[in-house]
Structure 1
């Protein structure tokens, strides 16, 4: 007598971290088997409805029976059929037919597998792109609020991560938001131009449907148009093989990767500024930063954002390779990889945006540290203004330049030796060559940030507020961020 084998628990098999840990429930439901296969059934119902409208011998009773079972999928039966048939579409045709025997003869009539698989992918991608678009808009609005709050707080600017001219904390936030504005425009374009495959047949010639309608080309064209319209598509792909061109997948994943680029840039900046102690990401009251170093407050959300963004940015290469290696009118080597990269691309984008929004909504600014870091470097940045003021007071430009150079190098060397305060102003004040210069006035940081506050105002007025009017003020929160 054999020993009964223990039933495997959920903890004994691998679970995808994107589903288990990172992506939102809404995005997981969109890419679920229930949504996928019920969409197949809706496509079969729509095909039958339009075929009946155009004169084929399909009864209203058959369509009612099919419609009644769109959501009640017998997954166990479909799996059993697939085990035998080795064909997922035909497995679901048979499982559907068992539930609606009166409609069995007309399910999938004239269609090939890609009628349901490809059109479903297009429907799901369109809906997922819409969800992602709303999330992107929400992050832009949140960053806009942050920019407005800190529009005129001067901070140290960096080029090459070396001190450069000052700007404001709010101005820096507009740069993060503007990256996402470009992503939003790309999303708009993708959604607007996404075209339905429609009913094209085994090699894209629509021959089977032409036979069903006795050579009536007008009816075949109308079949294509009406089915597309039932799913909200105004555009139809004018030509195809059995599948829609896989370049569409590549373009969509490139769009998602663009969002990941923006998120990665934002995450990296937050990590750098956290090191400078100027900004901090949200930190829960009982959150642990390190298992060994209890004092740590690591920027783990920004690090996670960068990590997920890195994964998402790698996916377009796989989609591009798939698009480039399609054979003539159809090959099946695109199937397995698309089952993986399309859902996971959207799950990863959803997770990135949840993190992006969570960090942006909870960003903490340390104004005292921002001011201290700026004051440490500000005397160096004021030297050009000091030079101009000295020349205006009657000094020799070249002589003053040399004195500033010598004093600046001495002050910098002192900072390199560990001193915290920059004594360049004091050195210049003790030099008679600068006796007529109001050195204090040259060190007002508000005079050094240029049009940063005004640029923030203009960006909010011309870019952010129109988006608020378009999308409303609802902010997507996505999945609860686990720490």
Structure 2
């Protein structure tokens, strides 16, 4: 889809500064995308009506010809619908008229009135929108997220044996490995993706107030509930809600938003941790000729990719929060507040998409600084106090915790030498002393996990 619109005059940065990064989402969430999905729903419904014998399709009109109307839809076609909307002041009615015009060109005037038969606009919107949402998630967003997780997991494996000083409450704590700390985020993200998969892509399809009134009064012997289920569940690949008002409940859509919000929150946590490791010089960053880190300080290489990601994830979450709180609420059988809100569901996904690409870019710049990581371990021998007092408990040494607390808590200058001197003064067997002296910040890292 081509457009002469200049990103320089866009109000939103996702259609301006970042337009190239999120261009693949426009086929789902743009006005063109929504129109195309509406046409797709109307066409597939029209075809199924004929297949079920509700009306007889002219032999000269083939399903492939009808599907080509949405499969080959152009921007000019969508513009034609927008021009009609200026007269109808109703976007779905404009789609209906467009399809009837296409049928006229195919010689199908005699069956044109079966287009949009018995439907309200929400039968179209509440199938088109979950369908475009489903395909955007499955075809674009989730594959990118899964690829990013795979990249992070591979980095974790690379750093599996890198011992690192942990920080709890910002203070030196029992050593860990860099790989395992990265794997924490892999597991958290994968858990949320699994949860996301349990939530169906729900749709509404049942006439003006959800009871198939027009369908039933016209063809009372036809099983319209079965028809609706087949159309939504099998033809569109969604899940039809059985008891609805004029609109879909949006409860499952809200659950999707809430899960994506948690995914974004985990990614914010990840960005902040990586940012902090950069500030601690555990990572250095690759430089690129010609790039500037600061307009005033030539030496700086800022972790801007992780900061950019954090900012975009925050914007996305603010929007997801509103969407999930607002959409499930509608006065009585329907009000129109969902309509304008639903047009924005692609915005938080776009901001998330920008963030994913920024994280990927930032990860590609990281250079491990083992010298600094090891120096921090060497400067914090006090962290093996936990190991020493625990082994002393095993050999029934009296009050081992208190002995190590007096030695290390709030004390500076705890070194290998001072700690070994303390061990030499303990009333324990030489074998135990040797066991204690073998412990170091570099090897006191716990279980070696398989990942």
TM-score normalised by the chain length of structure 2: 0.85
1:446 CA displacement:
4.1
Aligned match of 1:275: 279
> Is the CA contact (8 Å cut-off) linking 1:407 and 1:428 kept in structure 2?
no
1:439 CA displacement:
9.7
Aligned match of 1:5: none
Question: Quick check: 1:38 aligned with 2:41?
Answer: no
Distance in 2 separating the partners of 1:388 and 1:201: 69
> Aligned in 2, Cα 1:107/1:408: closer, same or farther, shift over 3 Å?
closer
1:304 CA displacement:
1.1
Aligned match of 2:118: 110
> Aligned in 2, Cα 1:48/1:278: closer, same or farther, shift over 3 Å?
same
Q: Residue deviations 1:284-328, cap 9 Å, x none? A: 343321111111111111111111111122223312432353011
1:212 CA displacement:
3.3
Question: Quick check: 1:317 aligned with 2:321?
Answer: yes
1:233 CA displacement:
1.9
Distance in 2 separating the partners of 1:321 and 1:296: 42
Distance in 2 separating the partners of 1:63 and 1:284: 57
Aligned match of 2:188: 179
Question: Quick check: 1:120 aligned with 2:116?
Answer: no
> Is the CA contact (8 Å cut-off) linking 1:24 and 1:350 kept in structure 2?
yes
Distance in 2 separating the partners of 1:232 and 1:79: 25
Q: Residue deviations 1:138-165, cap 9 Å, x none? A: 2222222111111111100011121110
Aligned match of 2:248: 244
1:280 CA displacement:
4.1
Aligned match of 1:233: 237
SS at match of 2:175: strand
Aligned match of 1:374: 377
Distance in 1 separating the partners of 2:79 and 2:25: 24
> Aligned in 2, Cα 1:407/1:257: closer, same or farther, shift over 3 Å?
closer
Aligned match of 1:343: 346
- Of 185, 207, 225, the residue aligned with 1:201 is 207
1:107 CA displacement:
2.1
- Of 429, 438, 444, the residue aligned with 1:448 is 444
Number of residue pairs matched by the alignment: 430
> Is the CA contact (8 Å cut-off) linking 1:253 and 1:315 kept in structure 2?
no
Question: Quick check: 1:129 aligned with 2:137?
Answer: yes
1:174 CA displacement:
0.7
Distance in 2 separating the partners of 1:278 and 1:316: 34
> Is the CA contact (8 Å cut-off) linking 1:46 and 1:230 kept in structure 2?
no
Aligned match of 1:76: 79
Give unmatched runs, 5+ long, in structure 2.
none
1:388 CA displacement:
7.0
Distance in 2 separating the partners of 1:59 and 1:320: 42
- Of 213, 218, 227, the residue aligned with 1:223 is 227
Aligned match of 1:463: none
Distance in 2 separating the partners of 1:243 and 1:81: 24
Distance in 2 separating the partners of 1:375 and 1:184: 39
Distance in 1 separating the partners of 2:394 and 2:113: 94
> Is the CA contact (8 Å cut-off) linking 2:285 and 2:301 kept in structure 1?
no
Distance in 2 separating the partners of 1:31 and 1:163: 47
> Aligned in 2, Cα 1:290/1:224: closer, same or farther, shift over 3 Å?
same
> Is the CA contact (8 Å cut-off) linking 2:389 and 2:404 kept in structure 1?
no
SS at match of 1:364: strand
List aligned pairs for 1:60-71, cutoff 5 A. Answer: 60=58, 61=60, 66-70=66-70, 71=73
Distance in 2 separating the partners of 1:238 and 1:93: 25
SS at match of 1:158: strand
1:337 CA displacement:
1.4
Q: Residue deviations 1:217-248, cap 9 Å, x none? A: 42x23421332255442632111111111223
1:29 CA displacement:
2.4
Q: Residue deviations 1:164-199, cap 9 Å, x none? A: 100011111111111111121122112xx223323x
Distance in 2 separating the partners of 1:51 and 1:91: 21
Distance in 2 separating the partners of 1:221 and 1:398: 73
Aligned match of 1:476: none
Distance in 2 separating the partners of 1:11 and 1:349: 19
SS at match of 1:165: strand
1:272 CA displacement:
0.9
> Is the CA contact (8 Å cut-off) linking 2:320 and 2:348 kept in structure 1?
no
> Aligned in 2, Cα 1:49/1:335: closer, same or farther, shift over 3 Å?
same
1:397 CA displacement:
5.2
Distance in 2 separating the partners of 1:392 and 1:33: 69
Distance in 2 separating the partners of 1:282 and 1:338: 41
> Is the CA contact (8 Å cut-off) linking 1:400 and 1:433 kept in structure 2?
no
Give unmatched runs, 5+ long, in structure 1.
1-7, 413-421, 461-483
